Each structure stands twice: as C-alpha cells, then as structure tokens.
Structure 1
Amino acid sequence: MSEPKPPTPTPAGDTYKGWVFKWTNYIKGYQRRWFVLSNGLLSYYRTQAEMGHTCRGTINLATASIAVDDACNFVISNGGTQTYHLKASCEVERQRWITALELAKAKAARMQAESDDSGDDFSLSCPPAPHGQNAAAAASQNSEVQSTLRTLASKVEDLSTCNDLISKHGSALQRSLSELDSLRLTGEAGDKIRQVTERATLFRITSNAMINACRDFLALSQAHSKRWQKALQAERDQRIRLEETLEQLAKQHNNLERAFRGNSQSNTTLDSKGSAGPGKGEASDDDDDNEFFDAMEEAPEFITVPADPQFHKRSSSNVSGFNSEMGSDDQSLNEEPLSANQDSPSLDLVPVKKRRSRIPDKPNYSLNLWSIMKNCIGKELSKIPMPVNFNEPISMLQRLSEDLEYHELLDKGAKSGSALEQLCYVAAFSISSYSTTVHRTGKPFNPLLGETYELDRGRESGYRSLCEQVSHHPPAAAHHVISSRGWTLRQEITVASKFRGKYISIMPLGTIHAIFEKGDNHYTWKKVTTTVHNIIVGKLWIDQSGEIDVVNHTTGDRCHLKFAPYSYFSRDVARKVTGLVTDKDGKAHYVLSGTWDEKMEFSRVMQSSRGSSSSGGAAGENGAEARQKTVYQTLKAREIWHKNPLPERAETMYFFTELALTLNEAEEGVAPTDSRQRPDQRLMEAGRWDEANAEKQRLEEKQRSVRREREREAASLRTSSQSEEGTAVEEDIFTDPALKSVPHDNHKALWFDRCDDPITGEPVHIYNGGYWEAKDTGTWEGCGDIF
C-alpha cells in the first residue's frame, strides 16, 4: 500500500497547518516554525505546544501579497510592516502552501468586502488579549460564530456545485461507456471497459454521500447555533453580575468594618487593643479560611504566670527547676548603652555626615488598583507590569537594607556573655524588621540584574552593608553586612508572590545568617509570609503570619516564634508575636511576647509545669491530655525592643522611617550600578511620575535586550562546545564546571560567588570581597552599564 499523502490545501475557513522554515536573522538563518492558516489569517509559533497561549506573529491575507522566489522559497508581505521569508521542505510542499494561501487570500478578500462586521478576521490561532473588555470579547466571539457559519454555508455551496458537475460529467461518461459496451468488444478491452464503468458508478455514489453529509452537518450547525449564542450570552451576563455583586459585597464589607470599629471603640467592656481592627483603629479583611468561625484565635502553646517571690531572692543553683545559666535576681540581659564609635576611636575626629530628614511629598495621583489587578489573579506579582504609581521611591535592595533599622540588637548580642541571651537579641532583631512594614503598602522597585546598593554606616553605627541583584528569573538579591562590633549578617532572598483577588501574599524564600565573633555562634532563620489586604476596595493594610525558628547551629539552642494572623473575633492584642527560647535539650529558658509593630518583652523562665485540663466535660483521657498546656513561671517581663517613632508628617513621605529617608540620598563614590543612580526611581522621588513611568519602561526594555544577548551567547557557547566534543550535549551550561557559578539567567554576579551553603546546603551567593576596596580606589571597571 502506498504511503498516504499530506492533505491538499483548502481555501480560507478550513485550517491548514504544518512546519515551514522561516528566515529569522543572519546569525540563526532559517528556523523551523509551526504555521497555521485559518480564517484568512496566517499565524506562526515556535512549536505546536505554543498554539494555546503564545502567537509569534500573524498576517491578514486579505491585504497581503504572495511571491515565489525559487523552487522552495516564497515570500508573504502585508505592505512593508510585516514580511515573512519562508522555505518549504520540497517543491511539492511549497506548491501546496501557495495554493492554500491564494485560495485563502481570495476568500478573505471577498468576505471582507461582503461583511461590515469587524470581527470577521477573528483568529482561532491567536485569541484576543485577556485584558480586553467584556463587550469587545463578546462581539468577537459572536463574530467568530457568524463567520464560521458563513464559511460552512459557502463550502456546502461549493460542494453542491461540484456535485452537479460530477453528476453531469458522470452521466456523460456512463453514456460513452455504454456506447462502447454496445460495440460488444471482447477480450481484454471489454473487461477494462466494465471495470471503468463500475469505478465511475462508485465514485458518483461516494460524491453524493459526501454532499449529503455536508448538508446534514450544516443543518445541525444552524439548528444549534442559536443555542450556542444563548448559552454564550447567559455566561457573559452571569460574569458581569458576579463582578458587580463582588464589588457591592466588598463595599458592604468595608461599611461593616467601619461600623464594627466604631462600636468597639465606644464599648468600654472590650479590650481597646484587641477589638479595634488590625491594630490602632484600622479596618481589616480577614483571611478566607477564618471568616465564619465563632472563636478565631488559636489556643496558646503555653501559659506564663508570675513566679513566686522566693525565686527573686534565691540562687538558681539551690532551687530545683532553675536554669543553671541564669542569675538569681536579674534578667541578666545587657542593657548598657552603646557608644556610637566605641570600637573605632580613631574615627571620632572625623565628623559624622549629616543625613537628610525629608524627601519631596508624595503627589496625589489617583489610580484604581483593581482596574490593573483584576486580570492578574493567580499570577506572580513580579511578572505583573505595574506603573510607578503603586511604588515607593526605593528598590527592593534598599528595603532589604532596612532590616538594619535596629542593628543595635545585634550589637548588644555581640557583647552578651551567654549564648541564650544572645539568642534573645537575635530573635528580637528578626521581629524588628517587620515594624517598618506596618503602613508601607507601596511596592518597591524591582532591581535590575546587576544592580547594587551599599549602606555605609561605619562611622555612625560600625557596619557596612552591600546588596546585589544576582538573578532576575527568579528574582534574587544577595545581602552581606559586616560590623566592627563583632557580628556579620548575610542573606539571599527570593520573593514569591501571588495575587489572590482579595489580597496579595508575599512569601520570602531564603535563609538569613547571623554570625558572631564571640563564641563563634552561627544563627539562621527564615522570614514569614506578608499579606496585603483590601485590594478590591477599602484601605490597604498589611499583616504578618507564620512561624520562625531561630537556630544556633553552634550550641543547638533554638527560639520558636509565632506570628498570629489578625482576626476580628480574637480577644488578644493585634499583631501578636510569642516566642520560647530553649536549649539543645528542649529546656525552656526565656519567653518572648509582644507585637511586631510596637515592642517585644522577655521573661526568664524559673519553673515549668503541666497545666490542668481545660474545661469542657468528660472528653476522655487522651482528649484531656491534648488540651493541657505547659505553664511557665517567669520573672517580671522587661522590654528588649521597641519601635522608633516615625518622622513628623511621615504620611506624606510614604511612611518612611528616619533610616528609609536617607536610603536614596545621593552620595558620591558609590558604584555606577547603585540604586541611587536609577533615573526612574529618582524621577519618582522628585514627583515626576509620568517621566518616571517612561524611564521605567526604557530600563526594562534595555534589560530584556541584554538578556536576549546573553541567551544568544550561551547558545553559541553550547554549539561550539558540542562541536569540540563531537557529540550532542543535552545538559545546560551549568554542567560545565567553569560555568557552574552562573545562575539560571546566564548572569554571573560581580561581588558575590555562587556556592552551596555549608550550614543549610542551599545554593546561595556569598560575598567574595573587593567592593569596599574598589570604592576606596574609585575603580569600577567591572560594573556593567545597566542604567
């Protein structure tokens, strides 16, 4: 049996598709692409799998010209803006495409002349953009149905004409064959004539059957088309009603919040802190999983009670259950004030630079966040194109540097003589970084690949900080801080975020390391989830929720912190954080409590016991045991950290802290890749937002161009490597030991080296040195031109 031939090209309306070589550029030459001809449109994709989501280009054949170059090449152009130079695999295949294109062009031109409906050129291969209006989408879908019905009717008319011709010529052929048969030819000639007669009869019967099937199909399509249109209209109306209902519910929800807040403030029997919304009188939008329960707060993992006064007088060595490390009558955490330059006396002669205390006021630009975000539900936040109107005039690298707002906690930890005391300071430091976010609903600028930021506070505070954007996909920033007061901080943070319709969840990924020279203690912890509520309507507010384990890898000590999510129905204080410091054996030494936006306190544990079962009747032995809580007898709580007050009129300056106001201050001697040099960020800070938006688009397009160039270089490197080895290499460039430090986007960081963390085993970027030396000498040859 002979091999079946490819389908014959058909006129416009029927889909004709296949592989064709397309000219791309002088470097890559002709590349194999998947072309689809449908409804008068010629579209192409890199692969067949892209047909569902990414169309690389489309030409309307109604206004296009088709030219033949040679045996296999042909050119399609729509008048200069788009030209496709194509090459088929053989001359026969080229002719099939030319025939299909010419027929499609003729029919598309005729349909365009006959129809006034602008939706006739709707392409099944390239759907409209998802952010189109509902009315436009509905009109396009209706046009598609009408166009399909018209095409089917036209096809059946063509088939009917062909049927009449087949019947006419078939009858004439049969008459001629009958005349030949009447000649009573014998032998081989007579057999041949009878065979031809039989085949002609079968051909006519088959043609009639095909025509009848097409007519039946058209009748069914016309009968069901009205039903399809009604169903489509009903779905569209229902979607519009749901959107309107959602917006009304959100407004009602916001009104109920205000009413609840007013009632809570006037009711003297309620806790003034725990009943006024998400702290300090703000409205809240509770989490979806917690909206319909009567008692929202989770039961505490432990209970603290004041210790007996005898514990304040006795030595811990004489009382059973005391902590062996603790003093008898003091919390023993060092509260000695730190001199600004205690470790660098030689710097006292140099005056400290006066930092700015104000930035230009935020302009009053009104922009509806929901109008941009409603079509981005479920997407990664970093991939949503956002204007600077929703930003604050600092980058993510500068936001990371804001973690050092309360660096004094690490300074005190470095002076501590006890590893457990030091752990308390580190835990308080991990909490303090969230206090700057309570009013900060603006989005920081996404750093460009290779962008850096230095925070040199050696004279004022004894530390130097450096951040670099080491990866763009996924976005990741490496951060390294060295302090002359005996500690080092490093982290690499990748932010994963999702827009959920009613709120945005931001999940920082990566580990933070704090290393102290004294005792060689090495601590690690991770950040909790940040949630931005009231995206649809109402005042935006931020909540932190999750758990943190601060671990001392040197001693095995641990501090478990729990950030309680906000709840309307909780009787507890909003934004509450609780923590328990235990040694390697699990014995409790300190209890931490407070809020992440105001202050934290610590209490030393003197004794612990299992509490009695909570009330609730006979629940069985196992149930009662499950409800028992550990009771810790503690000394009087003392404050370990409190939030610094915001500057005057902070609400007009993006609610920046005193440190945040200085982060984008122009400074001489910084690297050309420093965030202070970003033109869009500087324009936004100055209040020139329209210019900032244009500059932001320019920088993003420049970054995309550089990325494409790196990809081409990587592809060329792989090709040359394969040529030298003489075999096809399936692995990517990361398998090459010489290129192992290159991240996923083929970019090698300048000031950080990629390696496996010796503590966690995670792939991280660690500072390789050289930045501050380069700053001292003013040599920045290795820095790229990213701005």
Structure 2
Amino acid sequence: MGHTCRGTINLATANIAVEDSCNFVISNGGAQIYHLKASSEVERQRWITALELAKANAANMQDESGERDRKELQSTLRTLNSKVEDLSTCNDLIVKHGSALQRSLSELEGLRAGADMGEKIRQVTERATLFRITSNAMINACRDFLSLAQSHSKRWQKSLQSERDQRIRLEETLEQLAKQHNHLERAFRGATVLPSSFSNPSLDGPSGKGDASDEDDDNEFFDAMEDPAGFITYDDVSLASNAESPQPPELEPVRQRRTRIPDKPNYYLNLWSIMKNCIGKELSKIPMPVNFNEPLSMLQRLSEDLEYYELLDKAAKCHSSLEQMCYVAAFTVSSYSTTVHRTGKPFNPLLGETFELDRLRECGYRSLCEQVSHHPPAAAHHAFSEKGWTLRQEITLASKFRGKYLSIMPLGSIQCLFDKSNNHYSWKKVTTTVHNIIVGKLWIDQSGEIDVINHKTGDRCHLKFAPYSYFSRDVPRKVTGVVTDKEGKAHYVLSGTWDEKMEFSRIMQSSKGENGTEGKQRTVYQTLKAKEIWKKNPLPEGAENMYYFSSLALTLNEPEEGVAPTDSRRRPDQRLMEEGQWDEANAEKQRLEEKQRFARREREREAVKAVSLDEEGTHQDNYQPLWFKNTEDAVSGETLHVYKGGYWEAKEQGLWDMCPEIF
C-alpha cells in the first residue's frame, strides 16, 4: 500500500465469519478483527463472495513450493467451511422467511376484501421478496461451493497422484540401496576375516576421527516420513545378522480398569429410629451407619467432576473466549449428571485423608484431593492437564435435615485456568436436595443459580437450575443459561437438563417480549440451529445393583499400588462396605472416628496455652494440611486452599514418611 493505514490482514489466511443477517467478521486469528455491516442480507452476501474470491486469488499467488501447497489447502478448506456456514445461514433464513410467508398467505386467505387487504398484500409482497432474495443467495452460494469443490478436486487428485509416484520412486531407491549395502557387506566379509576382539588403532587417533567427519560430510539426511506405514521392512538374513537396528523401548500397556464391584446387599435399617432426633442438625455431626452410605468418600465424589474432562480439553482449543465460556458452563452442568440416582451418602473423609486420580496416560490429567478441615468439613482439589488447563476447588458442605427432605449446600469456589489464553474462570455449586427421607422412594433434585465468570475478559454465563415442580409444564431437571460479554450483550444461549444433555446456540438477534412471572419482562432471542455440546455417558450394565455408579465411579476405589498411605482406597471401613461386610464396616468406622477425635485432643494439648478460645470455648485446632496451603487468589479475590506441590514427586520416589497415620 502506498499510504498509511491502521492495520492489515493477510486475505489469503483470513477468517471470514457470518455474525447475523447483515454483519460479518474478518480476523487473522489474533488481535486484528474487523466487524463489518452491510445494508442488507444480499449486500452482505455480495461482500463475502467478493472477499472469498479475492482470498482464493491471494492464495493462488503464493510461492509454488510445498509450503504454498499446504497453505492453499488450508485456505481452501477454510473457504469451503465458510461456504458451508453461508449455506447453513441461508438455510436458517429461508426457513424463517418461508415460515413468515406461509403465515401471511394463511392470513390472506382468511381475510375478506376490505381496508386490511392492502396492508396484508403489502406484507406478503415484502416477505416474498425477502424469501426470493435469500433463495437466490442460497443458489449462488451453492453454485460457488460446487465450482470451488470441483476445481480443487481435480488439483488434489493430481497432487495425490504425484505424491504416490514420488513415494513409489523413493521405495524403489531404498530397495536398491539396501541391496547394494548387503552386497558390500558380503564382499567385505569375503575379503577380510576379523577376530571379534579386533580393534583398529588408527581409529583412536586424529586420522580416524577425521575420516569419520569426512564420511559424514558426504551423507545426505532426510526428514522421517510422517506415516510409519510408509517404511519397508526387509527380511534379508545377512543384512539382519550384521546390521544392528535399535529397538524402541516397550511401552507399558494402559491399565485395564475394573468394570464391576460386588452387588449392594439388601440390609434393612429403620431410618426413623436414627433421624427422628436429628431434625435441624448439621448432618456431618450425626453418627450415621454405613447402611446409608455408598462405598466412596467425598474426596472420590469430588474427583468425579472430571468425568467429562473432554469439555475442558475442547475449551482449551477455543480461540473465542465466548465460545470457551460455553464449554466451561457445560462442564459445570455435567458434574451433576452422576447424582440423579445416587441417593447413598459418601463417607466423610478423615482429616488428612487424600485421594489421587492419575489418568495422565489415558486422559492427560492428574488429580489430587485432600481433606483440609474436619469442622467444618472441607476438601481441597487440584487437577492439571497436559491439554492446557488447571482445575482447583475447595468445597465445604453445609447440610440440614428438615424432616421430609435433606438440603446440602456446597460452599466454596471452583476455578478453572487455561494456559494459552490465561482466562481465569470461577463459579460456585448449587443446592442439592434429597426428598422423601422418611417415607417413599428417595429422589434428588438440583436447584439454584450459577454465575460462571471469566475474570480476564469480563464474560459471564448465568445458569439457572429450575427446581422440580409437579405443576410445571417444563421438562424436569431443566437448565438454561445465557453467555454475555463485559458490556452485557448476549452471544450464546444454553439449554438442556443436568441429567442428560446440553445444547448451545449462537444468538442472532434479541428483543424484549411479553412480561413473564413476577412482572419481569422477558427477553426473546433469535438463534441459529442448536448444537449439542455435552451428553451424559450411559450407565454400565447392572448399575442399579452397584449403587448406580458410572463407569468412572466403579474404578475410583479400585486398589492401586504406590498411592499415599492416606489415600481413600486404603480406608478399611469403606473397603469392608464395598465387599458387603457392613457389620464389620460399622465397627471399623466407629474405631476410625474415635481415633480421629483422640488425635484432635492431642493437637489441642500440644497447642500453646496462650491460643485464644474459639466461639465454642475450646482451643482452636492448629492442624495444617500436607499438600495444600490456604491463600488468597489475586484474580478472583477469594480465599481457598491451593496445591503447593510435592505429592507426585513423593509418589515417584516412594517417600511417604511425612504422611500422618490416620487409618
């Protein structure tokens, strides 16, 4: 350009995306983004067509090298993808305008000749014109797509044939080289017989080193082929017996996890005899037999939040923070899917109890939980993934028994951090309610609201978990959400249920609708077609006899070598319960709880007498967690226990001397 400008985007590699009927966006995948608005849908389509043609021409002007071919392929794929998006947008618009036209025609048929006839005919004419314009745009887009696909198809076929021919020539050359190498070795062995202990003294001197360097200078090195199947293995006996071929180290096979646990025994216990004196009390302070438990600890239940870790893997790849927010929000909803049939209470972890979930090889992440406080019970959780995200949370459970139902209120914060974008998200959990505690079949509901906040960009997703109502016409367990930017503009809507699946849709237009409940004005969003973002995994066969555990939950308490002595897998009462020995499990549970109370009294005796008394008139517990430290997060401003490191290093070395004896 012969004049200055604010910025440029290389059109050959530019991304062209449609926002709504008149707006579109051009970006380079980085900071340069142009938001453009046309006067109409047809004008917008003309601009996009012209830009795509210019983009194709720009790609054709690249160097005629392998690098150019790769860029041209990528550009063409992006162009085709953009065309598909245009076709999808046109399809949505045709459906919308067609429906409007159909309504107008129906209304016209029902009208008598009169004053309203002229107005209705005008509406039909306008909508028919919009439908015709959109249909023409659809036809033109289809023609462009077909032409582009046909022209590049011939070029790709020619390029593929050239690659095949080159590969055949390379294979023939390799075969000739192998034969020549074999022939030279046989000739050398025939001319000279060397003892096995022979060493050439000339090779130890400078001349030997120099010869080797000269020989290296004459060699030509090639990059390894990307497809290992492209290499040819020769079974020449003399070549194999004389030429050493380094063997790759054997990879340890991925561990096969268990798919079953012993079926739940059918033990009867009078619930009312235990619960009648507990109404209004804190659940964690009520001594409960294992009959109401499931054979997992709260630390293991917390680790189950990672069942749908793939959502965070996909979020880490997103270029748009608003789209990333959709995946993070779906991840927050997915953590409740395991609770729909899980009416058993998890074991309260002992103070200092830990649980590791090492899925680095299978899934790319590692997770560690530790019980950092006993009263109130609090667990800290830290997980990191090779895919570029870190999840950390501290959960304190507050629970009250209300007679007919039990309310569980998780307190504390959950945070997710992404390495590439430095986006920092935080949110809190909703209330869980267990119904029909005394009479009837137990069932679980989730209700409340969640605000997922991106502290870096100001983006926000407001999720609503609708409480179950017998009189509501909505689907049970319904969840809805809206993703907004820092200015409050809505970009995506999410909808679905917390026990089945979630979908998300891009918002094209919003408007104020009729007043809803409590006099609040509703907002109506016009969106593109919804896409599924998350779906619950099916339960394993026979899950109803195994506490309704998911496939992941079945593996959590599986014995594993090398874990810390404080790991939940080593907890004896939980292990006995899983094996069906509930009487023994109850006796062991009482022993462990008394041991924990004794350890607390010992810590209080060791505390300095100058320590102030807390509200209950007892000395404050001076317990310090082993793997986490209490700190204030500078970004969110919240105080929580954060992993301080050292656990996985201790596991590699097998050094657990620092661990307390809690079992």
TM-score (norm: length of structure 2): 0.63
Residue 784 (1) aligns with residue 503 (2): no
Aligned-partner Cα distance in 2 for 1:627–1:747:
50
Change (3 A) 1:609 1:699: same
The corresponding residue for 1:660 is 553
The corresponding residue for 1:431 is 333
Residue of 609, 613, 618 corresponding to 1:718: 609
Change (3 A) 1:613 1:776: closer
> Residue by residue, what CA displacement relative to the aligned partner does 1:338-364 show, whole Å, maximum 9, x if unpaired?
xxxxxxxx9993321100000000001
| SS of alignment partner, residue 444 of structure 1 | strand
The corresponding residue for 1:571 is 473
Change (3 A) 1:313 1:698: same
Residue of 384, 397, 400 corresponding to 1:482: 384
| SS of alignment partner, residue 552 of structure 2 | helix
Shift in Å, 1:731 = 7.4
> Residue by residue, what CA displacement relative to the aligned partner does 1:727-755 show, whole Å, maximum 9, x if unpaired?
xx75789xxxxxxxxx9532100001112
State whether residues 494 and 510 of structure 1, in contact with CA within 8 Å, keep that contact through their aligned partners in structure 2.
yes
Residue of 271, 274, 283 corresponding to 1:381: 283
Aligned-partner Cα distance in 2 for 1:731–1:428:
44
Aligned-partner Cα distance in 2 for 1:785–1:747:
14
State whether residues 466 and 478 of structure 2, in contact with CA within 8 Å, keep that contact through their aligned partners in structure 1.
yes
Aligned-partner Cα distance in 1 for 2:459–2:39:
21
* Structure exhibiting the larger radius of gyration computed from Cα positions: 1
Q: Which structure 2 segments of 5+ residues have no match? A: 1-17, 26-35, 42-80, 90-247
Shift in Å, 1:320 = 8.4
Aligned length: 433
> Residue by residue, what CA displacement relative to the aligned partner does 1:68-97 show, whole Å, maximum 9, x if unpaired?
xxxxxxxxxxxxxxxxxxxxxxxxxxxxxx
Residue of 691, 701, 723 corresponding to 2:594: 701
Aligned-partner Cα distance in 2 for 1:321–1:730:
73
| SS of alignment partner, residue 496 of structure 2 | strand
The corresponding residue for 2:354 is 452
Shift in Å, 1:613 = 5.0
Shift in Å, 1:370 = 2.1
State whether residues 680 and 691 of structure 1, in contact with CA within 8 Å, keep that contact through their aligned partners in structure 2.
yes
State whether residues 362 and 654 of structure 1, in contact with CA within 8 Å, keep that contact through their aligned partners in structure 2.
yes
Aligned-partner Cα distance in 2 for 1:642–1:702:
43
The corresponding residue for 2:112 is none
Residue 763 (1) aligns with residue 472 (2): no
The corresponding residue for 2:630 is 754
State whether residues 321 and 607 of structure 1, in contact with CA within 8 Å, keep that contact through their aligned partners in structure 2.
no
Change (3 A) 1:709 1:465: same
The corresponding residue for 2:581 is 688
The one-letter amino acid paired with 1:700 is: E
> Residue by residue, what CA displacement relative to the aligned partner does 1:722-781 show, whole Å, maximum 9, x if unpaired?
xxxxxxx75789xxxxxxxxx953210000111222233333211010000000000001
Aligned-partner Cα distance in 1 for 2:602–2:593:
14
What percentage of residue pairs aligned between the two structures are identical? 75
Change (3 A) 1:757 1:718: farther
| SS of alignment partner, residue 600 of structure 2 | helix
| SS of alignment partner, residue 385 of structure 1 | coil
The corresponding residue for 2:261 is 359
Shift in Å, 1:629 = 1.5
State whether residues 565 and 659 of structure 2, in contact with CA within 8 Å, keep that contact through their aligned partners in structure 1.
yes
State whether residues 22 and 37 of structure 2, in contact with CA within 8 Å, keep that contact through their aligned partners in structure 1.
no
Shift in Å, 1:321 = 12
Residue of 433, 439, 445 corresponding to 1:543: 445
Change (3 A) 1:679 1:731: closer
State whether residues 602 and 640 of structure 1, in contact with CA within 8 Å, keep that contact through their aligned partners in structure 2.
yes
Shift in Å, 1:371 = 2.1
Shift in Å, 1:428 = 0.2
State whether residues 321 and 608 of structure 1, in contact with CA within 8 Å, keep that contact through their aligned partners in structure 2.
no
The one-letter amino acid paired with 1:768 is: K
Q: Which structure 1 segments of 5+ residues have no match? A: 1-308, 332-345, 616-622, 720-728, 734-742
CA RMSD, Structure 1 to Structure 2 (Å): 2.6
Change (3 A) 1:614 1:320: farther
Residue of 544, 558, 563 corresponding to 2:460: 558
Aligned-partner Cα distance in 2 for 1:479–1:602:
29
> Residue by residue, what CA displacement relative to the aligned partner does 1:131-186 show, whole Å, maximum 9, x if unpaired?
xxxxxxxxxxxxxxxxxxxxxxxxxxxxxxxxxxxxxxxxxxxxxxxxxxxxxxxx
| SS of alignment partner, residue 439 of structure 2 | coil
Residue of 640, 648, 651 corresponding to 1:772: 648
Query: Which stretch shifts more, 673-682 or 757-766?
Result: 757-766
Aligned-partner Cα distance in 1 for 2:433–2:648:
36
Change (3 A) 1:640 1:732: same
1:190-339 equivalences in 2 (<5 Å)? 311=20, 315=24, 317-318=36-37, 329=86
State whether residues 21 and 40 of structure 2, in contact with CA within 8 Å, keep that contact through their aligned partners in structure 1.
no
